[in-house]
A and B are shown apart, each in its own frame.
Chain A
Amino acid sequence: MKRLVVVGNGMAGVACVEQILKRNPEFEITIFGDETHVNYNRIMLSLVLAGEKSADEIVLNDVDWYRSNNIRTRLGVKISGIDRHARTVVDEQGQTTPYDKLILATGSSAFIPPIPGVDKQNVHVFRTLDDTHALMAKARKGLSAVVIGGGLLGLEAARGLQVRGCDVTVIHLSPSLMERQLDATGGEYLKRRIEGLGIRVMLPRQTAAIMGNGHVDGLRFATGEELEAELVVIAAGIRPNADLGRKAGIEVNRGIVVNDFMETSDPHIFAVGECTEHRGQTFGLVAPLFDQARVLAATITDNRGPVFAAGAPAAKLKIMGVDIFSAGSIDDKEPGVEVVRYEDPALGAYKKLLIRDNRLVGMILVGDVEDEHTYLDWMRNGTDLAPLRRQLLFPPQALDMGLEVADMPDSETICGCNGVRKGDIIQAIHTHGIATMGQLRERTKASTSCGTCAGLCQKLLRAVVPDFQEETKTTLCACVPYSYERLREIVRGQKLKSVEEVLAIYGNRKGCEVCKPALSYMLDMLWCGDHEEDRSARYINDRVHANIQKDGTFSVVPRMRGGVTSPDELRRIADVADKYAIPMVKVTGSQRIDLLGVKKADLPAVWRDLGMPSGQAYAKGVRMVKTCVGSEFCRFGVQDSTNTGIELEARLENLFTPHKFKMAVVGCPRNCAEATVKDLGLIGQDGSWQVVVGGAAGKSVRKADLLVTVDTREEALEAGELFFQYYRENGNYLERSYDFVERLGIEKIRKETVYASEEEKQKLLDRLRRSKALSHDAWTEGDRPVNPTQFVQIQAMETAREGLLV
């Protein structure tokens, strides 16, 4: 077997190894990487910094992949030299490793301009996962951070730091941001958007010195002007890591020179990725590098033939709400280039198309990138635009999206980053029976890098797969367009503690009646009281702890644990009904009593006179536990359902849940309190308890699923608590338990609750107990209102004059 050594465990090197493996080579492969991580998606570091992804989620090849492909992997090892005659590489520890073929895939490094003071503490670059972690560790609320460089990378770094609470300023040498991808007008639109996010932009500024005593404390510009900075990120460009090649004496200019077959000047040495220079060009985006990887895989496995040609670059800014796309040539001074443009300052939208000989050669899209795929297709296919001239700026939407993809030739690239062609996808669908986006990603890697082709992949699946399953990833609402899962992570990861904060950073700043209560719930569940409770984000019922009626009055349902009351309580209820002239007193369907038609201003007094806690009949929270008389009185009763129900209610009352949560405990399988149609039911049996979940008898009727059967009452209560907390943490807001159980499946729920490890179970219970300890009876606010007019009817200070509009 021949020995193949790869130096560089990054995106291009590993992509190349993947392509080589596909060709069943006779190689013994060793990969060296000086980072200590397996191959991850570097592109996504911006999203890790912004808290939208976790480090685990950006892994591209996990340890199992290396192991199962018999790849010797040496991580945290830096190769320091090549002996071309002996055909060995040597690492920094002096160990040599022989090769028959050597691939250099060393990528590039952040370019650090020669400014005095760059070596001070808290001056960072943004290239690796370690860099990202270092920035995450330093970033905190109110820290003044300056990013030097207003290109793609600099802006993404700025946004990530700002999302973490830093006061961020971007400094850029040119008079306009992202000048390599945008013209001056596009740059101006971008600047406005960035400033709209709350990031300061200073243009043009040349940094003369980084100041500070050990730690950075500021910047001085060439003009003498100074700026405070506690953290500096340098994003001023990249330089290919070509030193290994240079020292070994192979041909190197800016990068390691390769020919169309990815061969260097030494027949045993090849190069791929950002370390290369091809026909005078170096690289900074992954799409062409994956093409290089494919070409090199052919060359090195003795299938020399395919050649590399760098296509037109295409770049997209990955900042939520700042849509920027640029592709091809943006130089409108080139002879023969016509420009078609459109702008709408109010919308912040700017489009510019560059056309030569009726073919699209470049584009700039700011604020409206909906048509990027259509344009990119036009550009890559050299579509004749003569017949489309009237529709250039607003290209017609193909009526049937399926047809549009159906029309594409098989050779058309769908995923530019990973070089997946339409034909590859069709083939994967047929050979592997792919039916979901998840499976498609796993098999083909399509849409796993920048993700912009996800829509196209989806269309293709929908058109080709007969039983295509749409993935149900519901976003919260248009104000905060993230899935619940993602939002929970964001809120937890970013330690966001108020609805306003979430809406300001991840939303449209306004919020609405859908997302505000949902976010309120999420914050309460995650921080259990250690957050800023914002009543304005709550539905009126949760502002005044009573249920609003059709005439604007409220209903009052005191807690009556297990449906058990006493003569004394009943007397107080009767007295209250008299004293406040309550129009209706009613026994509810949930074994308790409702006082209907109470005026808002009377609520505190009514609660005080009742002297009973809130039954939370208005809340998305724990409602009640219905019970039957059980073994205490009933001749069939085999378990003490009444006291067990009272205990269950006491353990969970006052807590909030994604939707209302109703329970019942019965003393035998006759089920008189209807436990099998409750969110949680405990069914007593001779010598055991059944714990059932996800039942319903409201809008829908559903028999609850059996979660577990246990011997003792304590075990039954604990199983109930486990499910309860699991639902609290994983249910989407307004998702009743009957939908939740169907969505996740009872098997998964069992595995993650009653059959989870003792440690996991304890964690769930601990979180439940913590929330419970911080919860309180909402009606105590009657005496301690959160604001002076929570229940009070405001009286005007002055009476009005006559003749008012009525």
Chain B
Amino acid sequence: MNSHRNWTRITPADNIPPREGRAVKIGDLEIAVFNINGRFLTIENACPHKGGPLCDGIVTGTAVVCPLHGRHFDLETGMPVRAAEPSCLAVFPTCVENGVVMVDLEAGHRTLESDAA
């Protein structure tokens, strides 16, 4: 399944401190890349609530808390953590090669909407 990835080189892994996220803008797309203690995960940056920058949120396990009004999103699936929060976000396959974070920007998918569509 993972054999045909279109990896885009994003940034040296050292640029993202442990348990923090950083925003990266590529064309129209803004992603937030997180370093979960050495494991890198990527999610769309804009919170579906009111566009809060998720890259600036506090990390709890593999979830992030939006810095504006506190919605929680799971970084592995893009799913909201609490049932009452309806929207989800796209997540992107991410890996580190030779110290560089690589993201497959084309394989980004939203669990809820794209699966339902």
Residue numbers of A with Cβ under 8 A of B are 479, 510-513, 516-517, 534-540, 543, 548, 550-552, 787-789, 793-801, 803-806
Contacts and interface: CB of A to CB of B under 8 A. Distances in A.
A798 B16 contact: no
B3 to A, nearest CB: 17
Given A510-B61, A788-B15, A540 B56 contact: yes
A552 B53 contact: yes
A666 to B, nearest CB: 36
A539 B67 CA distance: 8
B28 interface: yes
Contacts of B18: 536
Interface in B44-61: 50-53, 56-61
A794 B24 contact: yes
A510 B106 contact: no
A512 B64 CA distance: 9
A797 B100 contact: yes
A804 B56 contact: no
Contact of B105 (A535, A540, A804): A804
Contact of B27 (A787, A788, A794, A804): A804
Nearest to B27: A800
A797 B100 CA distance: 9
Contacts of B15: 788-789, 794
B29 A800 contact: yes
B58 A804 contact: no
A795 B24 contact: yes
Contacts of B39: none
B67 A540 contact: yes
Contacts of B27: 799-800, 804
Nearest to A551: B51
B65 A513 contact: yes
Given A797-B11, A799-B27, 10 more contacts: A513-B57, A513-B60, A513-B65, A513-B70, A540-B67, A551-B51, A796-B9, A797-B10, A800-B29, A801-B105
Interface of A is mostly: loop
Nearest to B62: A510
Interface string B64-77: 01011010000000
Interface in B67-110: 67-68, 70, 90, 100, 105-106, 108-109
Contact of B8 (A517, A537, A796): A796
B60 A797 contact: no
A800 B56 contact: no
Contacts, number: 105
A669 B68 CA distance: 40
A273 B51 CA distance: 67
B58 A806 contact: no
A788 B109 CA distance: 30
B111 interface: no
A513 B71 CA distance: 11
Nearest to A515: B60
Contacts of B41: none
A714 to B, nearest CB: 42
A796 B17 contact: no
A500 to B, nearest CB: 8
A534 B8 CA distance: 30
Contacts of B60: 479, 510-513, 516
A502 to B, nearest CB: 14
A805 B57 contact: no
Contact of A800 (B53, B68, B100, B105): B105
B51 A798 contact: no
A798 B61 CA distance: 29
Contacts of B26: 796, 799-800, 804
A798 B8 contact: yes
A536 B59 contact: yes
Contacts of B56: 540, 543, 548, 552
B48 to A, nearest CB: 14
B67 A805 contact: no
A458 to B, nearest CB: 30
Given A788-B14, A804-B105, A512 B65 contact: yes
A548 B70 contact: no
B43 interface: no
Given A548-B67, A552-B51, A805-B109, A536 B20 contact: yes
Instruction: In the A-B complex, list the 4 residue pairs whose CB atoms are closest, starting with the nearest.
Output: A536-B19, A510-B61, A540-B56, A512-B60
Which among A511, A536, A796, A799 has the greatest number of chain B C-beta atoms within 10 A? Answer: A796
A794 B22 contact: yes
B16 A789 contact: yes
A794 B23 contact: yes
Contacts of B23: 793-794
Nearest to A600: B56
